[in-house]
């Protein structure tokens, strides 16, 4: 089994799920719950629960919230390598979920913004392993050097590398050209349709994926209720897999992270792209059926 090393963000998600359409400038009844979050930590959690050997590298505050997040990761079976920041709090994200399941996020990275190259445990970067780097680590200026250092260390160790695009709005603020330059040595890119459009200017996900194979040998595009697709620079047509049916969408938070965690093990085992896509779609369907971005224990 290939050990997966995830470098990324650790957050607490304050999820407010509205019971009715939002009443602007007034009150809307909601269910408010607190959950472990952060794209990188979510991916590591789903990987561990599904049986992968996984280590997570991140940064937390010297607060009760950070301690709770640390213990949660260990509870999932993640080898959590968290550096405690003496000044910054553990990151927090306010997730507003409409009555239809649509999300808007307000993020304070907190300690994540101070992740440094010195925080990266050298023993985890070894031949035969796989690095997955959260795009948030590169998009955030404070942690960018750590992300670039992780990519360099993985390359020197002969590890395979995958990268995700984080979120479309901060990706657009950062710019497509810098992001593509930083990540071009990765073997696999994960994006959704909006992120792929930011990087390529193409509205059609398949066309965007084809463009992106100029930088990445393989590209996966997540298409929400239309499933997902995989494109390789050695193929003329993409491979597609339909989404799994879900009786009720409760919360889409973390669905993309769950997809990544479903896809990676099958891909690392050399299974056909359609099988890896189906595995990703299966975990994404599990994620949207309950509140919060992490697996249920």
What is the mean predicted confidence (pLDDT) over 121-141? Answer: 97
In this prediction, residue 20 carries a pLDDT of: 95
With 90 as the cut, is the pLDDT of residue 267 above it? yes
Crossing angle between the packed helical segments 39-49 and 255-268, to the nearest 10 degrees: 50
Residue 17's pLDDT band (cuts 50, 70, 90):
confident
Residue pair 76/294 in contact by the 8 Å Cβ criterion: yes
In this prediction, residue 249 carries a pLDDT of: 77
The 10 Å CB-count burial string (b at 16+, else e) for 237-262 is ebbbbebeebeeebbbbbbbbbbbbb
User: What percentage of the chain has pLDDT greater than the value 70?
Assistant: 100
pLDDT tens for 50-92 read 999 999 999 999 999 999 999 999 999 999 999 999 999 999 9
Residue 259's pLDDT band (cuts 50, 70, 90):
very high
Beta-carbon contacts of 123 under 8 Å, excluding residues fewer than 6 positions away, are none
φ/ψ of 77, rounded to 5, equals: 100, 15
Residue 289's pLDDT band (cuts 50, 70, 90):
confident
Q: How far apart are the C-alpha atoms of 67 and 10, rounded to whole Å?
A: 11
Could you tell me the CA-to-CA distances from 183 to 31, 43, 138, 193, 257 in Å, in that order? 39, 19, 9, 18, 18
Q: Specify if 250 maps to a domain.
A: yes
In this prediction, residue 202 carries a pLDDT of: 97
Q: How far is CA 252 from the centre of its chain?
A: 13
Q: Specify if 229 maps to a domain.
A: yes
With 80 as the cut, is the pLDDT of residue 252 above it? no
Q: How far apart are the C-alpha atoms of 268 and 228, rounded to whole Å?
A: 18
Q: Specify if 152 maps to a domain.
A: yes
Domain that holds residue 243: 4-10+37-91+110-287
φ/ψ of 133, rounded to 5, equals: -105, 125
Q: How far apart are the C-alpha atoms of 297 and 292, rounded to whole Å?
A: 12
What is the mean predicted confidence (pLDDT) over 16-35? Answer: 92
Query: What is the overall mean pLDDT for the chain?
Result: 95
pTM: 0.94
Q: How far apart are the C-alpha atoms of 165 and 173, rounded to whole Å?
A: 12
Beta-carbon contacts of 290 under 8 Å, excluding residues fewer than 6 positions away, are 250, 251, 296
Q: Specify if 297 maps to a domain.
A: no
In this prediction, residue 165 carries a pLDDT of: 97
In this prediction, residue 296 carries a pLDDT of: 86
Could you tell me the CA-to-CA distances from 272 to 207, 256, 263, 264 in Å, in that order? 21, 20, 11, 12
Q: Specify if 276 maps to a domain.
A: yes
In this prediction, residue 261 carries a pLDDT of: 98
In this prediction, residue 109 carries a pLDDT of: 96
Q: How far apart are the C-alpha atoms of 245 and 242, rounded to whole Å?
A: 9
Q: How far apart are the C-alpha atoms of 281 and 84, rounded to whole Å?
A: 34
pLDDT tens for 180-228 read 999 999 999 999 999 999 999 999 999 999 999 999 999 999 999 999 9
Q: Specify if 183 maps to a domain.
A: yes
Q: Specify if 99 maps to a domain.
A: no
With 90 as the cut, is the pLDDT of residue 246 above it? no
CATH of the domain at 268: 3.40.1190.20
Q: Specify if 84 maps to a domain.
A: yes
> What is the count of structural domains for the chain?
1
What is the mean predicted confidence (pLDDT) over 112-130? Answer: 98
Q: How far apart are the C-alpha atoms of 155 and 31, rounded to whole Å?
A: 45
In this prediction, residue 291 carries a pLDDT of: 73
Could you tell me the CA-to-CA distances from 195 to 36, 116, 117, 243, 244 in Å, in that order? 24, 26, 27, 19, 22
């Amino acid at each position: 089994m290939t050990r997966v090393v995830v470098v990324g963000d650790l957050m607490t998600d304050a999820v407010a799920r509205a019971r009715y359409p939002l009443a602007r400038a007034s009150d809307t009844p909601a269910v408010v719950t607190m959950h472990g979050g952060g794209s990188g930590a979510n991916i590591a959690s789903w990987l561990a629960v599904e049986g992968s050997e996984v280590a997570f590298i991140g940064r937390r505050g010297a607060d009760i919230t950070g301690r709770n997040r640390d213990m949660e990761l260990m509870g999932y079976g993640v080898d959590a390598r968290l550096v405690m920041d003496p000044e910054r709090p553990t990151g927090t994200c306010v997730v507003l979920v409409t009555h239809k399941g649509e999300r808007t996020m307000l993020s304070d990275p907190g300690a994540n913004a101070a992740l440094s190259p010195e925080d990266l445990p050298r023993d985890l970067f070894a031949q035969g392993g796989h690095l997955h780097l959260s795009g948030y680590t590169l998009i955030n200026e404070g942690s960018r050097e750590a992300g670039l250092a992780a990519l360099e260390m993985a390359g020197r160790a002969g590890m395979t590398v995958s990268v995700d695009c984080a979120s479309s709005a901060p990706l657009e603020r950062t710019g497509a050209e810098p992001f593509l330059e930083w990540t071009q040595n990765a073997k696999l890119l994960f994006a959704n349709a909006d992120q792929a459009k930011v990087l390529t200017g193409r509205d059609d996900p398949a066309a965007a994926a084809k463009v992106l194979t100029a930088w990445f040998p393989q590209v996966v595009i997540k298409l929400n209720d239309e499933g997902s697709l995989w494109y390789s620079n050695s193929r003329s047509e993409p491979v597609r897999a339909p989404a799994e049916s879900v009786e009720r969408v409760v919360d889409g938070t973390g669905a993309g992270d769950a997809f990544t965690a479903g896809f990676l093990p099958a891909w690392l085992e050399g299974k056909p792209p359609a099988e890896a896509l189906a595995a990703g779609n299966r975990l994404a369907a599990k994620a949207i059926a309950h509140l919060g971005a992490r697996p249920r224990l």
